Amino acid sequence: MTVLDEGVIDKYKTLSERLADPALIFKLNALFERRYAWVELLEWVHERLKWDNGEIERHNDPLDILAYGKGRCGEFSILFTAVCLAQGHRARIILDMSDHVWSEIWDTRTNRWVHVDPSDCKIDDPLMYERDWKKTLAHVYAFENGKMEEVTKNYKADRVRAAG
């Protein structure tokens, strides 16, 4: 791993710790009048955050993201993961070291992590990056409460073919 990679990894470890902070969770949870399912939270995020490819300020704080009202994949994933955590759903940030960020939600019914791309509104389509975006994924990491897990294999078509 290069020095640059370690810096990015440390940034996301710290971010994932901040998203689990009880004070932030309390503030975010106050935005809701009831408990939302995580699919509803994806809609909630899209009602409040607009995609913008132009010159924008980048934010890592969910409250700043909400106030600013626009972002890219990082902002969508941070906000979605944060509101899921605030609403009692287990969630984590996923980082593709080449250039993309998304989320995963723990599904208690199936006991597995479910891929959610908040910027694209895609659910449980982990192969979309190779299939639709023609990406070659080499280093994909999950971040949850300061811990990191290497999850590249979950997003590679050859792993799915081998398992099937």
In angstroms, rounded to a whole number, what is the distance separating the alpha carbons of residues 29 and 37? 13
In angstroms, rounded to a whole number, what is the distance separating the alpha carbons of residues 70 and 56? 8
Question: Which residue of the set 59, 89, 100, 115 is catalytic?
Answer: 100
Residue 97's domain comprises 3-163
Question: Which residue of the set 59, 84, 115, 117 is catalytic?
Answer: 117
5 band by pLDDT with thresholds 50, 70 and 90: confident
pTM for this structure?
0.93
* Catalytic residue list contains 117: yes
pLDDT tens digits, residue range 53-93? 999 999 999 999 999 999 999 999 999 999 999 999 999 99
pLDDT on residue 158: 83
Report residue 73 CA to chain centroid gap: 8
- The pair of three-digit structure tokens given for residue 71, joined into one six-digit string: 């972002």
Residue 4 has pLDDT above 60, yes or no: no
Tell me the residue type at 10: D
In angstroms, rounded to a whole number, what is the distance separating the alpha carbons of residues 97 and 137? 8
* Catalytic residue list contains 139: no
CATH of the domain at 42: 3.10.620.30
Looking at the structure of the chain, the number of domains it has is 1
Element (H, E) at 6: helix 3-19
Question: Which residue of the set 46, 61, 64, 73 is catalytic?
Answer: 73
